[in-house]
A and B are shown apart, each in its own frame.
Chain A
Amino acid sequence: MRGLRTIVAAGLVALGSPAKAGDPIKVGALLAVTGPAAFLGAPEARTLEMLVEELNARGGVGGRPVRLIVKDTGGSPEKAISFARQLIEEEQVFAIIGPSTSGETMAVKAIAEEGKTLLLSASAAEVIVNPVAPHVFKVAPKDSFAAEVIFRRMKKMGITRIGFLSSNTGFGKAGKEQVEKLAPAYGIQVAVSEVYDKAATDLTAEVTKIKAANVQAILNWSTEPAQAIVLKNVRQMGLGVPVFQSHGFANVQYARAAGAAAEGVIFPAGRVVVADALPAGNPQKAVLEAYKRAYEARYKEDVSTFGGHAFDALMILVRAIELAGPDRAKARAAVENLRGFVGTGGVFNFSAADHNGLDIDAFELVTVKDGRFVPLGP
């Protein structure tokens, strides 16, 4: 039977041997390199490859080289589950970086915990770390922080009535929840709330509805090209109100795509996108500039916060291994006890109760000026 022969052949090829000192440390990665979440997973994969090469050129971690195993889940939870089991049971990886999306992370959370394998997720959903699972961490900041940073600014600008648009992805859904929950506390009324399809190519109809509601500002929460499309639709309709975006806008290709329509847009972002403009005393500046230089030189494209999540996840893991040695349980405890770790997403302070480690300062309010990202300032 064909199936049997294939399986036996694959099995013979994949025979492993017990680990010895000097053996590579296997790090698995579950990333959505292709598919609908590719704008998350592709930069993440590139960042990891670049970093692992650099690490190995310097002798690896604790004298042992790092072997990176990237599995492309295509954004599919089913594949994530299958590959997670493969990485944990078969490859016996030391830790897993990713997945890229919250849906996939929730699907593999229990598997990682059961397999006692460190999981450092690059996605943002609150439920990933609440309830806390000892082996599961995330390095992306909470969506609620992003919303609060935006609302603080809106309150300062005297805005009380907004129109809200979000996409039908996990990211958009999470944002919608936070926005609707937190707006009242800042005295802001969400007059119109529309959810559009992630593949939407024109939002004029939705913007028309918002125009009819006489709002003072528009907030859009998505990670798709729709972010740029909505800006154009708003400006072309002659709406002059301030437009806010979510941290999903933190990739300058969207600002470029929207061209003149992106001027003046306000959004929260990790500081990696404004690394050049940070004051000299900023604790993150050195790390950010190094990452930005290396990534842009190698891949000829702009850095984004998404790639930054992968950077943080891997470097946190490396630090934990350096501190505690290549022992799983000790490394896990080391991550949990990590304080003051400077990453691209912010300064991390983990604890047993907080497996995210970031607070609201992780976000910087950024605006677009002359097609470039600059910090907004007070």
Chain B
Amino acid sequence: MRGRRHLQVVVLAAAVAGVQLATLAAGKGFFLTQLTMSAYATLVALGLSLLMGYAGQVSLGQAGFFAIGGYTSAVLTTLDLGGHRGRPLWAAAERLGLLAERPDLFGGATLSVAPWAAGVAAVLLGAAVAFSLGVPVLRLRGHYLAMATLAFGTIVSSIVVGTQAFGAADGISGVPPLVLAPGLRVGGGAADRVENYYLAWGLVALAMLLLSNLIHSRAGRALGAIHGAEDAAAAMGVDTGRMKQKTFVLAGVMATVAGVLLTHYNGGIGPSEASVMKSVRTVAVVAVGGMGSLWGTLAASAVLNFLSLRGYFGAYDDAVFGGILVAVMLFSPDGILRGDLGALASRLAARRKSPGEEA
């Protein structure tokens, strides 16, 4: 069992490398940009897939966590701390490497929080919010839960748009690249394109590995039991509250991390990233891939986000995602990509054969 899962990740790695080489051969290296952005969107979707498919919780707030990660990181790395030189904490901060120089708009050098430190702060904040939000939110059910996460997402969106410090409607631009190691940095320059591609998809592969292991562990089986029948699971001694909370935090943290990295890659973030529509698109992607089916979600996310980012859907972008959402939930609520199409076909045939099915 374990071997099969690891094999799947190896296949993913091979596919990722294969795609990159193919684009190199065809001279279409610029596809890597959209593929990299899709990878980060996939991280968000994977977290949601776990939450929806295993803990059975619908969250319309993933974009809110993405925004927390992206905006925190963006704000901290675009601060101008020059005026604080000489203050007591300054020396300590410098020694810890928390500060870094970055070129500002006019070519001069300003001091702000080092990207890695900002990233860590952002992830911690995201985790804290997810934790404190999770406690009351997960005691709710069904549409109350959906609405609570929707309210959370909209609150984040409203705060981000209404606050000057967050760039209000223009967002924040000029975010410096995140240097992970000498020669390896998360940023949008054409020279770094290939590295960023592998970094992003490597992260996705890592997430797949971790989540797969989680699903097939004891904790994972407990999660599956919660989705299937929460009362029965509780009766069997599963601490349903804690499990749901942990899943919620995990999904939130994944979205936060994706937010941090994509913001550095794009060099900025805007309020459209925090919008409810983004959360809805993530839900659509998970629905297509099959809730809880990690591989299905990955494939759906990679394809749909790539096409969307390349403008394939033109002005009908939102309509496409809305339509997909309705179509999938009406005809194939377990997802299109889950299992194989043969199963879908036989299900359709079965439905036609027994019209006497009653609601």
- Residues of A in contact with B (beta carbons under 8 Å apart): 1-4, 6-8, 10-12, 14-15, 33-34, 71-72, 74-79, 81-83, 85-86, 89-90, 101-104, 106-107, 109-111, 114, 125, 127, 131, 168-173, 195, 197-198
| A7, A169, A173 pick with most chain B CB within 10 angstroms | A7
> Given contacts A86-B310, A111-B188, A170-B168, is CB(A3)–CB(B269) below 8 Å?
no
Other than A77-B266, A198-B169, give 10 A-B pairs with Cβ distance below 8 A: A34-B318, A76-B270, A77-B270, A86-B310, A90-B28, A103-B167, A106-B268, A107-B171, A168-B161, A173-B168
Closest residue to B300 on the A side, CB-wise?
A: A2
For chain B, residues 1 to 50, give those with C-beta under 8 angstroms from any C-beta of chain A. 15, 18-19, 22-23, 26, 28-31, 33-35, 37
User: Are B190 and A89 touching (Cβ within 8 A)?
Assistant: yes
Also in contact, A6 and B34, with CB within 8 A (given A90-B28, A114-B189): no
Chain B residues, Cβ within 8 Å of A103: 167, 169-171, 173, 270
B residues near A (Cβ < 8 Å) are 15, 18-19, 22-23, 26, 28-31, 33-35, 37, 105-107, 158, 161-162, 164, 167-171, 173-174, 188-190, 266-270, 272-273, 299, 302-303, 306-307, 309-311, 314-315, 317-318, 337
Secondary structure of the B contact surface, majority rule: helix
Query: Using a Cβ cutoff of 8 Å, how many contacts connect chains A and B?
Result: 142
Query: Min CB distance, B62 to chain A, in Å?
Result: 15
* A53, B80: Cα distance in complex, Å: 48
Q: Is B22 touching A82 in the complex (CB atoms < 8 A)?
A: no
When the two chains form their complex, are residues B266 and A107 in contact, meaning their CB atoms are under 8 A apart?
yes
Could you tell me if A82 and B28 are in contact, using CB atoms closer than 8 angstroms?
Answer: no
Query: Is B19 touching A3 in the complex (CB atoms < 8 A)?
Result: yes
Q: A86-B30, A107-B268, A111-B188 in contact; A77/B169 too (CB < 8 A)?
A: no
CB atoms of A72 and B314 under 8 A apart: yes
Please tell me if the beta carbons of A81 and B311 are within 8 angstroms of each other in the complex.
Answer: no
In the assembled complex, the Cα of A198 lies from the Cα of B171 at a distance in Å of: 15
* Interface pairs (20), CB distance under 8 Å: A4-B19, A10-B310, A34-B318, A71-B311, A72-B315, A74-B272, A74-B318, A77-B272, A78-B273, A79-B272, A79-B309, A81-B266, A82-B311, A85-B30, A85-B188, A89-B29, A90-B28, A110-B267, A168-B161, A168-B169
Closest B residue to A172 using CB positions: B169
CB distance from A171 to the nearest CB of B (A): 8
Nearest residue (CB) in B for A8 is B22
B309 close to A82 (CB less than 8 A): yes
Contacts of B337 in A (CB 8 A): 2
Given contacts A3-B303, A4-B22, A107-B267, contact A11 B311 (CB under 8 A): no
